[in-house]
A and B are shown apart, each in its own frame.
Chain A
Amino acid sequence: MTMGQPATITPEGLQALIDALRQRGYRVVGPSVRDQAIIYSDIGSIEELPRGWTDEQDAGRYRLKRRADNALFGYAPGPHSWKKYLHPPVQRLWRMESGQGRVQIVPELVEAERYAFIGVRACELHAIAIQDRVFLGGAYGDPHYRARREGAFIVAVNCGTAGGTCFCVSMNTGPEVTGGFDLALTEILVEGQSLFVVETGTGEGQAVLAGLPSRPASQAELSAAQDIIAHTAASMGRVMQADGLPDLLMRNLEHPRWDQAASRCLTCANCTMVCPTCFCTTVEDSSSLEGGEASRARRWDSCFTMDFSYIHGGSVRSSAKSRYRQWMTHKLATWYDQFGTSGCVGCGRCITWCPVGIDITEEAAAIRDSERIKVDDHGGP
């Protein structure tokens, strides 16, 4: 997926990239430290990047930590994902105006804002590709998503650090970025100084890179970059045995393990909010006090709420067990039926941000192990 020869840029070159993207009319967003977490927000300078920061992640645990070096991208994905830009939490859909006996529906304008994302990880690129299939792959599509998606410039970053809850290797979604970017960076540290090996994925990426102070990447830099990716791949915090997962879960819909997960699950919906592929929404209507205008907005929703499955009379999924099962089987099994791919990219956010530390890899393994024990029981001498 790469075009031309890889180049090397310095942090100053990275600043020049941000400047160039802004000049081209992009709204540049990237990682930043805020509220003791690395989140995504508007950035104008590399000084706003999380220089020298990393994180400690485990089930139900996230802590920022100082690195021994000054790496700019030396962290694992935090609570935000790019869906907050491509599929924003609230999106007005239309408004209805009336007056002088006339009523009309005014569709919400498709936003012209073009985003440049800095620091998109391999798992996140896969997450975006998964949402593409949801919002653009069916008979109906979402024009708002489409406009933002097609307008976006993506600067990916190969992960130099695996988080404690990462399992992209298991899901075959990382840590190396393989496509879906305009430019891809690998941060290498030479004598404590960051350098970025840049690969190009699109013509626009190539044009942007051409305007930056860069030089061809040396063989040593290229192999350092490869080593970093290999090291990250070898240090995943979690493992998910993905083979046969859809069938495994769908033949165990009544497994007692769901009750165990449910006994801990607070149905708080954190996992769905941080998940980079979760796309479910509700709609909300509002009207002006005098009644002449009304509008409808779409809002992120979660399969963990009671309202989510409400049909007149009550909720289809009233127990925590059924809601946890819905979420996990959707991610790992029924997503294939609905959209042709897995709904999980192995980013580990749902594990980290679960307040009680429910671990999707542990839950899947428990169900798999229970079958193995059963087989052993019957197959033993």
Chain B
Amino acid sequence: MPDDAAAWPSPMVPRIARVRRRFPEGPKVWTLEIEEDGGAGMSFAPGQFNMLSVFGVGEIPVSMSGDASDASCIVHTIRAVGPVSAALAGLESGDILGVRGPFGMGWPMAEAEGHDVVIVAGGLGLAPLRPALYHLLCRRSCFGKAVLLYGARSPEDILFRHELDTWAREQIIDAVVTVDHARSSWNGHAGAVTTLIPRAGFDPKRAIALVCGPEVMMRFAITALRSAGVSAQAIYLSMERNMKCAAGLCGRCQFGPVLVCRDGPVFRFDSLRSLLAIKEL
């Protein structure tokens, strides 16, 4: 079958890309701007992810954190927590890496038009939401009120701080950042991100909520959104599970009836509601 082998490429084979620029975002967190060899751009939807490889080390899923309207440059924000993420975060300008993607179902940007948009992010969970924020800013008039509620561990851990400041200053969106704890030099908010939800001042009846962060934080945030009057059908969350293939072929990212890589990573809350409460699913 050599003829249609080309027409049926393995989804497991990466393409070669190079790091164009790398810059620090916080403790152990780096943003990589990469471009594929041959200059082929990559179009993706906010919320999708790539599989990134360091040759000889391994491969992990990483969400796009850049602007989807700029296909020439792929941006990923990575925290060095394991061998592969540490190797990725350590790549310098000009270094090569492998890229497969984009994969997965992203944020419901089209459905959100005409609605208030409440974005609740925790920790590194802001990275997969940044493309959604860029999209929102680019088509600002298509959306109602736009609120970003972002919880970080400490002031040093706040991602994309410069951009957050700019957006807040220019009053394009209501961006509120809170930290779990801070030294006394911190003049911003402290406390859990969930406490910002009742005070955020959006219309729960016309809001769509996009939630991304550690699973516990998402559960608490969803409870707070529901208490504020947001319906289960209007809440979207991005799930994380172990992934090896991203193409629905390796079985590892199962979460009950869904394959996170194929059916997600973004899910509408009501489709997962009964599963999120189950331990070790």
Contact = CB atoms under 8 A, between A and B. Distances in A.
Contacts of A107: 9-10, 13
Interface string A348-363: 0000000000000000
B82 interface: yes
A294 interface: yes
Contact of B249 (A142, A287, A313, A337): A142
A105 B8 CA distance: 17
Contacts of B9: 107, 143
Nearest to A280: B251
A110 B248 contact: no
Nearest to B55: A294
Given A107-B13, A311-B240, A287 B56 contact: yes
A308 interface: yes
A315 B13 CA distance: 27
Nearest to B10: A143
A303 interface: yes
B262 A309 contact: no
A259 interface: no
Interface in A126-178: 134-135, 138-144, 146-147, 150-151
Nearest to A298: B12
Task: Please classify the interface of chain B as helix (H, G, I), strand (E, B), loop, or mixed, using the class held by over half of its residues.
Answer: loop
A281 B245 contact: yes
A321 B279 CA distance: 11
A296 B8 contact: no
Nearest to B248: A138
Contacts of B256: 250, 329, 334, 337
B11 A140 contact: yes
A319 B279 CA distance: 10
Contacts of B248: 138-140
Contacts of A234: none
B15 A253 contact: no
A316 B242 contact: yes
Interface in B267-281: 278-281
B259 interface: yes
Q: Chain B CB within 10 Å — which of A317, A337, A338 has the most?
A: A338
A138 B259 CA distance: 12
B56 A311 contact: no
A96 interface: yes
A297 B131 CA distance: 33
Contact of B259 (A104, A108, A319, A338): A338
B16 interface: yes
Interface string A80-113: 0000000000000110100000011101101010
A134 B10 CA distance: 14
B1 A280 contact: no
A301 interface: yes
B250 A280 contact: yes
Interface residues of B, number: 45
B5 to A, nearest CB: 5
Nearest to A151: B1
Contacts of A317: 280-281
A231 to B, nearest CB: 37
A321 B2 CA distance: 45
Contact of B242 (A134, A151, A309, A337): A309
Interface string B171-183: 0000000000000
A65 to B, nearest CB: 36
Contact of B241 (A108, A135, A296, A316): A316
Interface in B39-82: 53, 55-59, 81-82
Interface string B214-257: 00000000000000000000000000111011011111101011
A282 interface: yes
A260 interface: no
A279 B251 contact: yes
A381 to B, nearest CB: 34
B96 interface: yes
A64 interface: no
Given A253-B278, A281-B244, A298-B12, A312 B82 contact: yes
Given A146-B1, A253-B281, A338-B257, A309 B16 contact: no
B137 interface: no
Contacts of B251: 279-281, 303
Interface in A254-279: 254, 279
Contacts of A143: 5, 8-10
Given A280-B252, A285-B55, A286-B56, A337 B258 contact: yes
A343 B79 CA distance: 37
A311 B241 contact: yes
Contacts of A138: 247-249, 262
A77 to B, nearest CB: 22
A111 B278 CA distance: 43
B1 A281 contact: no
A298 B246 CA distance: 13
Given A143-B5, A312-B81, A330-B254, A283 B242 contact: no
15 contacts: A94-B12, A138-B248, A139-B248, A142-B10, A147-B5, A280-B250, A280-B251, A281-B252, A282-B252, A285-B58, A291-B56, A294-B56, A298-B250, A309-B241, A317-B280
- Shortest beta-carbon contacts, A-B, top 8: A287-B56, A337-B257, A322-B280, A280-B251, A140-B247, A294-B55, A294-B56, A140-B11
